[in-house]
Amino acid sequence: MKIDLKSITKEDEAFLYEIYASTRNEEINSWGWSAEQKTLFLEMQWRAQQASYNQRFPRASHWKIVVDAKRVGRFLTEEQPEFHHLIDIALLPNYQGKGIGTHLIVQLQKMAKEQRKAVVLQVLKTNYAKDLYERLGFQVFQEDEIYMKMLWK
C-alpha cells in the first residue's frame, strides 16, 4: 500500500465534503431526519468547519490522503514554533482501520522529534480515534465536556 499526501486543489472540494459527511453519518442517522434535512445540515456544518479552519489556522497545510492513486482522506496540520498541530485527519469509512492514519501520524511524530517539537491535537471524547492517539503515546493535558486536548512529546 502506497500512502501519499498531495496538495488539495479546487477540484477536491466535493471529495472533501464527502469525507466530512462520512464522519458525521452515524451521528446524524440517529436523529431521524429526512435525507433533505441531513444534506442541508451537513452542507451548513461543512462550510462552517472550513471557514473556522481557514480563520483559526491560516498557515495550515491542507493535504488529501492518496492510497495507491485513490483519494481516501484529508490531513490538516499546522507547524508552530513549539509544536506541530494535527488539526484534522479523516478517512473514508472503507479505509479506516487499515493503518493509514497510524502511518501518517507516526510520520508527523518522526518529523516533530527531529525538530524537537511536540505534536498536539484535539479530539471529541466520543471519537474512537482517541484510542489510536493513546496507543501512539498521546496524553490528555486538557479537557472539557466535549473535547480532549492531547499532547505527544
Per residue of the chain (153 residues), give pLDDT as tens: 899 999 999 899 999 999 999 988 878 888 889 989 999 999 999 999 999 999 999 999 999 999 999 999 999 999 999 999 999 999 999 999 999 999 999 999 999 999 999 999 999 998 889 999 999 999 999 999 999 999 999
Read off the pLDDT of residues 29-46 as tens digits, 9 standing for 90 and up: 888 899 899 999 999 999
For the chain, the three-class secondary structure string (H helix, E strand, C coil) is: CCEEEEECCHHHHHHHHHHHHHHHHHHHHCCCCCHHHHHHHHHHHHHHHHHHHHHHCCCCEEEEEEECCEEEEEEEEEECCCEEEEEEEEECHHHCCCCHHHHHHHHHHHHHHHCCCEEEEEEECCCCHHHHHHHCCCEEEEECCCEEEEEEC
pTM, 2 dp: 0.91
